[in-house]
Amino acid sequence: MTETSKSGKSGKSPKSVVVFDYGFGNVRSAERALARVGADVEITRDFDRAMNADGLLVPGVGAFSACMKGLTAARGDWIIGRRLAGGRPVLGICVGMQILFERGIEHGVETEGLDEWPGTVAPLTAPIVPHMGWNTVQAPPDSELFAGLDPEARFYFVHSYAVHDWNLEVTNPKIRAPRVTWSAHGEPFVAAVENGALWATQFHPEKSGDAGATLLTNWIGTL
């Protein structure tokens, strides 16, 4: 366990969060950002700890196919599926968000994702790629993830691929439709999703300063 605050602002015990260490992600920066907002953070791929933590954060950098291979080798696909089946919160970041979709296409090669959401991760079409730097997002008014944030708040992006269309339709009135946040770089793309216990961001909240800290605080508040 890393050293964090002994109690939250309310005097309650801090929420436990595992940053899943499968070899593809800025785990240390995620650890520091979560500790900053009061979580009890551990970096591990241990099955039981990942399953039993209040929250699971799945980072991701590099190629879609390599991340999927590493995640599967660490049984991360099974852990994510089991947690979601039990309504246990999971947060994906950057490629950790992309692998939650149906498939990814890089250099003409198609790789199956976790298929939690329909959609294809495909190259960005923009004058400059990768999309690297600060950008605003358009969050839905009922977003919990972006609650309390200025609409002009900027988040840090580093990516060359994205999901360009959202195709999941919810017809059951008893099920809350996913809340989808958008951004644009040359063309619109999905910047974040809130869908029951599964949330994800294309940008890096752990590198997004105070805005990212607020976002992580909002997530931890739901655990």
- Please report, for residues 77, 97, 112, 124, 174, the alpha-carbon distance to residue 205 in angstroms, rounded to integers and kept in the order given: 22, 12, 26, 21, 31
Q: Mention every residue, 6+ apart, whose C-beta is less than 8 A from residue 61.
A: 24, 25, 26, 67, 94, 95
Alpha-carbon distance of 163 to 174, in angstroms, equals 27
Backbone torsions φ then ψ of 214, nearest 5 degrees: -65, -45
Backbone torsions φ then ψ of 189, nearest 5 degrees: -150, 160
* Cβ(180)–Cβ(168) below 8 Å: no
Active site residues: 94, 204, 206
* Cα torsion through 196, 81, 182, 158, rounded to 10: 140
Backbone torsions φ then ψ of 161, nearest 5 degrees: -130, 155
Cβ-based neighbour number of residue 189 at 10 Å: 24
